[in-house]
């Protein structure tokens, strides 16, 4: 949103020129999202403690976990909201990759919300069954992969091994299941570390930073060429989301 203001106001106020740079907008989005979480999360936690009995604990687990009965959950609602709002505020809204990652985040977030609601609202310790959850995740990933194939500029199904100049593979239609595997695998790789101790925030920050760097590098033609990585037009904007 603010990205588009520099086209209107930079001729009158030179300070708006900073919104042209992905690096500045990435840092600004990070700061805004962080502040939103720090301000809103304690409020949300107090509200959820009043409205729900908290997450139930499985009685077949370690006995030491029973003391965590009633621990508030669903904190991901605030995190997802903060990330989405900061991305909308600082990204180029004409970029297909931005809408793709936002769509994936919202749909996966909705699935996570349903899972938590079953655990908290219905006091079902299992939530959404794992096979059902994986099926929905795969379908969502496939839909957004098809969106990219259809609408992303100069889209290619070639997968390149980083830092090797000529080591690449054209997957053709196999790119769709490969993409689903990467998306579902990456989301669950972080999710598997989650728990009642808030352990997931660490992996989220480290993986988001890594993906942000990859997106920025792939979207910068000079750096991508120097590191022998395929240049992807417009992918640098994803660094703002990350």
CA gap 218, 223 in Å, rounded: 8
Token pair listed for 127: 């939530």
> How does pLDDT run across 2-35, given as a tens digit for each residue?
767 666 666 666 776 777 888 888 888 889 988 9
pTM of the model: 0.79
Quick one: pLDDT band at residue 147, thresholds 50, 70, 90?
very high
> What are the DSSP E strand ranges found in the chain?
158-160, 168-170
Q: Is 74 left (phi over 0), alpha (psi -120 to 50) or beta?
A: left
User: Considering only 20-29, 115-124, 157-166, which range has the smallest mean pLDDT?
Assistant: 115-124
Cα separations (Å) of 30 from 83, 103, 205? 8, 19, 10
> How does pLDDT run across 170-186, given as a tens digit for each residue?
888 899 999 999 999 88
Higher pLDDT, 52 or 224: 224
Domain locations in the chain as residue ranges = 2-241
């Amino acid at each position: 949103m603010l990205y588009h203001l520099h086209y209107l106001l930079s001729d009158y106020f030179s300070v708006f020129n900073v919104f042209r740079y992905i690096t500045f907008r990435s840092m600004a989005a990070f700061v805004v999202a962080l502040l939103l979480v720090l301000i809103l999360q304690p409020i949300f936690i107090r509200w959820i403690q009043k409205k729900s009995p908290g997450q139930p604990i499985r009685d077949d687990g370690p006995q030491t976990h029973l003391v965590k009965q009633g621990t508030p959950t669903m904190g991901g609602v605030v995190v997802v909201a903060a990330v989405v709002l900061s991305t909308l505020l600082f990204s180029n809204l004409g970029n297909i990759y931005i809408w793709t990652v936002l769509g994936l985040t919202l749909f996966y977030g909705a699935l996570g919300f349903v899972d938590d609601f079953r655990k908290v609202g219905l006091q079902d310790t299992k939530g959404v069954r794992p096979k059902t959850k994986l099926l929905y995740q795969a379908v969502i990933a496939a839909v957004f992969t098809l969106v990219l194939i259809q609408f992303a500029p100069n889209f290619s199904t070639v997968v390149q091994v980083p830092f090797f100049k000529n080591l690449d593979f054209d997957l053709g239609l196999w790119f769709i299941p490969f993409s689903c595997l990467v998306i579902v695998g990456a989301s669950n790789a972080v999710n598997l570390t989650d728990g009642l101790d808030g352990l997931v925030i660490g992996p989220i920050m480290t993986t988001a930073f890594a993906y942000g760097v990859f997106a920025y590098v792939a979207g910068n033609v000079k750096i991508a060429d120097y590191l022998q990585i395929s240049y992807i037009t417009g992918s640098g904007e994803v660094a703002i989301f990350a």
